[in-house]
Chain A
Amino acid sequence: MNTKNITNLLKAYFIESWKTDLFQFGILVAIILFGTLANGASMHFAIFCATIFLMIYPERLFRNLHSNSPKIHYLSIPASNSEKVVANMLLANIYYVAGLALSCVIGLGLAHLYLTMRGFDGVSLQTSINGNGILLMYGMLAVFFFGSVYFRKKTTLSTIGVSMLIGLIFTTLFSLVLWVNGIILIPKDAVFGDYRWSFNYPEDISERFLNALFYLFLAGEIIYFYALSFLRLKETEA
């Protein structure tokens, strides 16, 4: 991996799409402002909009991969796949997130100015976002990043659809497990609805341990999806 190649890739990206990015950040600021006019400014609304922007972004990062002739063009850029993945990871994880955060701050700031000038209360900065939320957002970004490399067209929608399908399958499986265990465990002469499933939260497990487990799982998930994106890009090249 050559850092010069990564720098060149980043430069090429900025030359190509700084206008689009600025336009998108502008749209986010405008949405937050108009959202304020409609129903009062809030941090939650800004974060919600920014998350949607973040979901769509990887599709743009790899847009050259989604049609045939630019695909060859993209694959023939003189940089290795790992360099391309790392450059795009930097763009998605640092640059774009920072841009969105800045747009949120500007949008909320303008909204605050507008509200206070009209004599209303300012923007409430109360939010439920914390370390877990931010990590969850990065985990989601990794999934969409992989989706944008994996699928050929409409990658954001495909990723959402497939994720929902997998979620549905797992929920069905869990219901099946409950049902089968109910048949096995609950006595045959029990009247329907006699038993009630209720699991007591194990008290001997500390919250810190659960948090650590959550962080480990998400870190693993993020590494897994970026590694798979790299592998998939390599396969596309072959």
Chain B
Amino acid sequence: MKKYTNKILIITLIAAAVLMIVVSTVEIRKAFHNGEIKTHKEWETIHVCPTTPDVPLTLDSLESLSNIEK
């Protein structure tokens, strides 16, 4: 009897690897063209600092903030 198991395993692995490479490449390109891959600047304006504070962050300003809370 011919030995098929190793061949089937290797073919499956190669097929899975090729599928993974193709799908991930397509998805990455789609994301890039849709603007989902952002520069750090864009990212920061969206996620980190939605609005820039008017008051500069110093010790004095912090103190006045805590006074307001009191």
Does B9 contact A228, Cβ atoms closer than 8 Å?
yes
Q: A193-B40, A195-B38, A195-B40 are in contact. Are A185 and B29 (CB under 8 A)?
A: yes
**Residue contact B36 to A195, C-beta cutoff 8 Å:** no
**Among A34-42, A51-59, A116-124, A172-180, which stretch is in contact with chain B?**
A172-180
Query: In terms of DSSP, what is the predominant structure of the interface of chain B?
Result: helix
Chain B residue with the shortest CB-CB distance to A227: B8
9-residue interface stretch from B13-21, B49-57, B58-66: B13-21
Q: Chain B residues with Cβ under 8 A from A48's Cβ?
A: none
**Does A181 belong to the interface (CB within 8 Å)?**
yes
- When C-beta atoms are compared, the residue in chain A nearest to B46 turns out to be A198
B37 touches A228 (CB 8 A): no
How many B residues touch A, CB cutoff 8 Å? 26
Interface of A is mostly: helix
The smallest C-beta distance from A161 to any residue of chain B, in angstroms, reads: 15
Q: How far is the CA of A190 from the CA of B32 in the complex (A)?
A: 15
Complex contact B5–A150 (CB within 8 A):
yes
B70 lies within 8 A of chain A by Cβ: no
User: Closest approach, in angstroms, between the C-beta of B35 and any C-beta of chain A?
Assistant: 10
| Chain A hits for B16, CB < 8 A | 170
Which residues of B (1-34) have their CB < 8 Å from a CB of A? 1, 3-5, 8-9, 12-13, 16-17, 20-21, 24-25, 27-29, 31-32
Chain A residues whose C-beta falls within 8 Å of the C-beta of B4 in the assembled complex: 231, 235
B13 to chain A: which residues have CB within 8 Å? 166
A185 vs B33: C-alpha distance in the bound complex, in angstroms?
9
- Contact between B1 and A238 (Cβ–Cβ < 8 Å)? yes
Give the CA-CA distance A181 to B32 in the complex, in Å.
Answer: 10
In the complex, which residues of chain B have a beta carbon less than 8 angstroms from the beta carbon of A224?
12
Provide the bound-state CA to CA distance between A166 and B9, in Å: 12
Smallest Cβ distance from A173 to chain B, in angstroms? 6
With CB as the reference atom, state the residue of chain A lying closest to B18: A173
In the complex, whether B67 has a CB less than 8 A from a CB of chain A is: no
Question: Which residues of the other chain, B, contact A231 by a CB distance below 8 angstroms?
Answer: 4-5, 8
Contacts A181-B29, A198-B36 aside, 20 further interface pairs with beta carbons under 8 A come to: A166-B13, A170-B16, A170-B17, A170-B20, A173-B20, A177-B21, A177-B24, A178-B24, A178-B28, A190-B39, A194-B41, A195-B38, A196-B43, A197-B37, A198-B37, A198-B43, A200-B31, A228-B8, A231-B4, A231-B5
A-B CB proximity, top 3 nearest: A238-B1, A232-B5, A181-B28
